[in-house]
Amino acid sequence: MAKAKAKENIVALFSQIEGMKGVKPEIVIEALKEGIIAAYKKQYGQAQNVEVTYDGNSGEFAVYSVREVVDEVFDSRLEISLEDARRFSELYEVGDKIRFQEDIHDFARSSIGVAKQNVLRKLKEEEQKDILNEYKKYEGEMINGTVDRLDERAIYIKLGRLDAMLLRKDQIFKERYRIGDRISVFVTEVKMTQKGPRVFVSRTAPDMLKRMFEKEVPEVFDGTVEIVSIAREAGDRAKIVVRSHNEKVDAIGTMVGRKGSNIQPIINDLHGENMDIIEWSSDKGTLVRNVLKPAQVNAVYIFDDGSALAVVPDDQLTLAIGKKGQNVRLAAQVAHCKIDIKKESEFDESEIGEIVSQEDENEEEESELEIIEVEEIPSEDQVGLEELLDSINIPVEEKED
């Protein structure tokens, strides 16, 4: 009668929990197993030797204590003597394991309460896993959301079932947001934390620019124009090296778009962040020359360790280095090499050590289309074509309609 009552309680628990939305039968089974083991441990002080099985056909659970056959018993809960074991079978030897079925009635009542707690815990865990998997696919992508709340640590952005965290270090210094504002962010990481799944986003990540150009420029999205590298000091300036995989497609012109139509929405979204669009070159000296623009460079020396020395006219030194070193710093990042700057009046070629290559201004004719320094582009209504092209540093005679 007691055993039947215990089974009724377990069946009732099954019916109750399975009726909950989204609860899988295997979760209930596993929760009951854990509940029975917890009840066994509570009664016997340990549960290292207990096994719980479930028969899917009969719907019944069984509890077994497992004991090891030994010559001398030190803990009767875990061990059984060889002499006692051979009362069950003469085949048992020292080291064998014997399973003894226990009366589940002894554990059923207390195990049900534990099982309920386990089911709720597992439901929460499963929900968190689902959320994690749902948002994991957005890593490395752009996503839109609404500012939900703000504190000193972060801006919290509503993304459906989860809030994303835009930490202070990932915010553009001059941007300000209010609750309810729409915002585009780049998903840097989705991970499980002690507080559940977390989505971390950024407005400063260099790859954010890549995704923005993929959205605005079909040729970037389909790979015709490749963004080779990006260096960025978010909210202020970025250098972007590009190349075309189709000789009929001009990489820089495509990035900028007709009258700035491609790049201007990105500049607007980033509140006026200036961008240098730079032509890639397989020749490292030419690439270093390009990335240092708008400064004029007389010669570039590439050393055997991969570093570079750029020699510039005296009046170009400040421009080459940039405000607080920004121009040369971004140039080095985007070219992936150390770049030293020296003004012409202080340069002595005899002091130069082993040089792998030299790219001299006189050896290769410069093209004005190697780089475009893009700032805020006036609208077509505000200026004429010549003024518009001047604003993005493209000579009128070289611009194609």
Q: Are residues 308 and 327 in the same domain?
A: yes
Q: Are residues 371 and 386 in the same domain?
A: yes
Q: Are residues 234 and 162 in the same domain?
A: no
Q: Are residues 84 and 20 in the same domain?
A: yes
Classify residue 224 as exposed, middle or buried by CB count within 10 Å of its CB (0-12, 13-18, 19+).
Answer: middle
Classify residue 153 as exposed, middle or buried by CB count within 10 Å of its CB (0-12, 13-18, 19+).
Answer: exposed
Q: Are residues 226 and 354 in the same domain?
A: yes
Q: Are residues 74 and 149 in the same domain?
A: no
Each residue of 182-204: pLDDT tens digit?
A: 999 999 999 998 888 999 999 99
Residue 173 domain boundaries: 142-202
Q: Count the domains in the chain.
A: 3
d(CA 169, CA 205): 10
- Please give the structure tokens belonging to residue 282: 């397989």
Predicted confidence at residue 32, as pLDDT, reads 78
- CATH number for the domain spanning 309: value is 3.30.300.20
- CATH number for the domain spanning 77: value is 3.30.1480.10
Averaged pLDDT, 321-333: 95
Give the residue from 87, 115, 135 where a domain finishes: 135
Predicted confidence at residue 7, as pLDDT, reads 55
- Considering the chain, what percentage of its residues have pLDDT values greater than 90? 51
Each residue of 252-266: pLDDT tens digit?
A: 999 999 999 999 999
Q: Are residues 222 and 236 in the same domain?
A: yes
Q: Are residues 154 and 285 in the same domain?
A: no
- Residue 362 pLDDT exceeds 60: no
Averaged pLDDT, 372-391: 44
Give the residue from 168, 186, 202 where a domain finishes: 202
d(CA 337, CA 229): 12
Predicted confidence at residue 61, as pLDDT, reads 82
d(CA 332, CA 239): 10
- Residue 12 pLDDT exceeds 80: no
Give the residue from 116, 135, 154 where a domain finishes: 135
Q: Are residues 131 and 216 in the same domain?
A: no
- Residue 298 pLDDT exceeds 70: yes
Strands annotated E in 215-263: 225-233, 237-244
Q: Are residues 210 and 83 in the same domain?
A: no
Predicted confidence at residue 122, as pLDDT, reads 77
Q: Are residues 367 and 271 in the same domain?
A: yes
Q: Are residues 182 and 295 in the same domain?
A: no
Each residue of 45-97: pLDDT tens digit?
A: 766 788 888 887 877 888 888 899 999 999 888 899 999 999 999 899 999 99
